[in-house]
């Protein structure tokens, strides 16, 4: 379970996040939507414990990432918006490095776990090649495997289908559904409304550092008085961007 309670953060004069509250439940896929610069990434960083909130609190299960960052991160798997791999290490070595950093012993069990991930994400052909030669899709899939190799109950994916081809996008969606079906809390961001609409159990829409709307897909569309998610998003964000109450 991931939760934000009145998170606020400013950088100098710029208010990045004014007040963000939401909750992402276990076993559900929660979509976080918002235009660029709305405060999504800063909100996520406060949940990771990378940025300290000026006000409010974040929760990773029962842990406050500001107070217990290491325990919180052990229960968290993150695919940041632009994940870098080590080009001279193979995919397997990249994944193993992060597993070991998260306190997992380098033994036969880890080897099997990486094989299983490789199977799920269809990485069999490339996992033992240096990551420098990977395509965008292969990089993304290895980065996801790296983020979830330590079996975290909470997973944050920042635009996981960015730059993927049709087949890879499909495989990624299946993998995200499978993670939630295992009872994990999955929070993800995307700019593709169709993808968000088909995947998410709940939606949280952020604009100008505030939560504008949240609920199920139907609730959000009804709230905006629109016909589709895209119309609802434009109506809500545009309305908000216009500055009217």
Partner 1 sequence: MSRRPTPPSLVVLKKELLDGVRDLRSLFSAFFFPLLGPLTIGLVAVALERNTNDQGLETLYVEGAERAPALIKILERDLEIKPAPPDAEQQLRDGELSVLLRVPEDFSDRAARGEPAMVELISDGSKTEHRGVTADVERGVAAYSSELGVMRLLARGVDPALIHAVTVDEIDVAPPERLGGNIIGAVLGLFVIISAFFCNMYLVIDTTAGERERKSMEPLLLTAAPRGALVLGKWMAGLTFGVMGVIVTVVLTLIPVLWLDLERLGLRIVLTPGVGALIVLHLLPLAALASAAQLLVGSFTRSFKEAQTYLSLTLFLPMIPGMWMSIDPIPAAPWMMAVPALAQQMLITRAISGEVTPLSWQLGAAASSLVCAALALWGMRWVVGREQ
Token pair for residue 39? 């405060």
Comparison of 27 and 130: residue with beta carbon closer to partner 1: 130
CB 104, min distance to partner 1, A: 6
Q: Using CB under 8 A, which of 93, 115, 122, 230 touches partner 1?
A: 93
Using CB under 8 A as the binding rule, whether residue 61 contacts partner 1 is answered as no
Q: Using CB under 8 A, which of 7, 33, 38, 78 touches partner 1?
A: 78
Measured distance CA(147)–CA(95) in Å, rounded: 8
Q: Which residue, among 158, 162, 178, has the nearest Cα to 80 in the 3D structure?
A: 158
Residue numbers 107-126 binding partner 1 by CB under 8 A: 107-109
Q: Which residue, among 202, 17, 48, has the nearest Cα to 59 in the 3D structure?
A: 48
Do the strands 185-189 and 154-158 form a parallel or antiparallel pair, or are they unpaired?
Answer: parallel
Comparison of 149 and 179: residue with beta carbon closer to partner 1: 149
Comparison of 78 and 237: residue with beta carbon closer to partner 1: 78
Q: Using CB under 8 A, which of 101, 167, 178, 181 touches partner 1?
A: 101
Q: Where are the alpha helices (DSSP H) in the chain?
A: 40-48, 69-74, 91-101, 108-120, 136-148, 166-181, 193-199, 217-224, 229-242
Residues at the contact surface with partner 1, assessed by CB under 8 A: 45, 48, 50-52, 70-71, 73-74, 76, 78, 80, 82-89, 93, 97-98, 100-109, 143, 146-147, 150
């Amino acid at each position: 379970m991931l939760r934000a309670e009145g998170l606020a953060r400013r950088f100098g004069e710029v208010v990045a996040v004014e007040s963000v509250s939401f909750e992402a439940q276990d076993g559900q896929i929660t979509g976080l939507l918002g235009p660029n610069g709305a405060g999504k990434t800063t909100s996520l960083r406060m949940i990771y414990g990378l940025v300290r909130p000026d006000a409010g609190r974040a929760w990773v299960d029962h842990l406050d990432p500001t107070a217990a960052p290491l325990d919180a991160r052990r229960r968290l798997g993150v695919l940041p918006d632009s994940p870098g791999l080590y080009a001279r290490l193979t995919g397997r070595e990249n994944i193993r490095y992060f597993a070991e950093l998260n306190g997992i012993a380098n033994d036969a069990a880890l080897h099997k776990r990486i094989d299983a991930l490789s199977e799920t994400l269809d990485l069999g052909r490339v996992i033992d090649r240096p990551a420098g030669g990977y395509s965008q899709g292969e990089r993304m899939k290895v980065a996801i495997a790296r983020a979830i190799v330590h079996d975290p109950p909470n997973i944050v994916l920042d635009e996981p289908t960015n730059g993927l081809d049709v087949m890879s996008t499909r495989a990624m969606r299946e993998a995200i559904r499978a993670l939630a079906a295992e009872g994990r809390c999955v929070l993800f961001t995307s700019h593709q409304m169709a993808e968000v609409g088909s995947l998410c159990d709940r939606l949280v829409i952020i604009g100008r550092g505030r939560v504008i709307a949240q609920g199920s897909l139907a609730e959000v569309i009804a709230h905006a008085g629109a016909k589709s998610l895209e119309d609802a998003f434009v109506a809500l964000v545009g309305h908000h961007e216009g500055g009217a109450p």
